[in-house]
Every structure is written in structure tokens, then in C-alpha cells.
Amino acid sequence: MFGDLDDLYQDIILDYSRNPRNFRKIESPPARVVEGHNPLCGDELTLYLLMDGDVVRDVAFEGAGCAISKASASAMTTAVKGKTRSEALKVLENFHDMVTSGNAEVFEDDKLAAFSGVHKFPARVKCAMLGWRALESSLSSTDDESGAGVSVEKKTITTE
């Protein structure tokens, strides 16, 4: 039974890494840009976040990394699109709890639960969290509302 579940989860992760969702740049309107690095594994990604007030209007990423980092960033984009800032941060918190504890109960949806097995490989937690940490950093940025438009803030984060 658990073997079947592992196979299902593995299939989901492979699908998300081979056919990443929202794997593109957001050119316009200007998006918040955060570059994330995981030196331990060599994963690198650039996250683009477009807010509409308090709501995630669009989120996308580009980059190169291992299957886990790519699949996780990909699943993240589909999970938080349309959510408010606080809802997105809550999903992030739950995801982090899951990849460190292995407890996937909080997620009804297979695409996020698929990453529960990552807790068995502590070094890969940083891979799984890279896109999410970039999102967290991006959500904490503020757009310039002074008049001339939205300023694009470019930040770099490194997973520790």
C-alpha cells in the first residue's frame, strides 16, 4: 500500500520536474524578482511574483536545478496562485512542516503531499524549500506606490 503511494508521489514529482508549470518569465507588468540559490546542491532559480493588492495574481519561475527543486517550485506556483499573502504564507508553513516531519495530513491535494517523502532525506529539504523561500522573500517585498509605477526589486536569497 505504502509502496503504491510512494510510486504515485514519485510520478507526480517526475511530472512536475519534467513539465514544470509556470516555467517562464513575467515580463510585464513588472513583477517582483527574487533569485534563489541552494549552494549545497547547486539549484538556482529566479522567481517572478505579480501581486494584485493582497492577492497573488501571477507567479512563475525559471532556473536550473535538481528534480526536487524544480518540481517543488512548480507545485508551489500552482498552489499559491490566486491566494492572499497570508494564505500563501500559511501553505508555505504547512509545506515546510511536512517536508521536515513527513506528515502530509494537512494537504488534501496530492501534488503537495507528494513531497512528504523528502523528510527522509534532510539534505533535500533545502532543494524542496528553495522556490518557497524565494516566494517568502518576494511576499515580504513591497511595491513602490509613489506614482511612476511599480518598482522592481531584485533580491537574492540563499537557503541555509
Residues that bind Zn ion (CB under 5 A): 41, 43, 66, 69, 127
Residue number, 66 or 150, with CB nearest to Zn ion: 66
Burial of 100 (0-12, 13-18, 19+ CB in 10 A): middle
Q: Which among 104, 99, 101 has a CA at the least distance from the CA of 126?
A: 99
CB of 40 to Zn ion, least distance (A): 8
CB of 115 to Zn ion, least distance (A): 13
Residue number, 50 or 76, with CB nearest to Zn ion: 76
Residue number, 41 or 106, with CB nearest to Zn ion: 41
Q: Return the bridge partners of 44, or none.
A: 37, 64
Residue number, 80 or 127, with CB nearest to Zn ion: 127
CB of 135 to Zn ion, least distance (A): 17
- CB contact at 8 A, 99 and 132: no
Between strands 154-158 and 32-38, the pairing is parallel
Q: How many angstroms separate the CA atoms of 159 and 148, rounded?
A: 33
Strand, helix or coil at 158?
strand
CB of 64 to Zn ion, least distance (A): 10
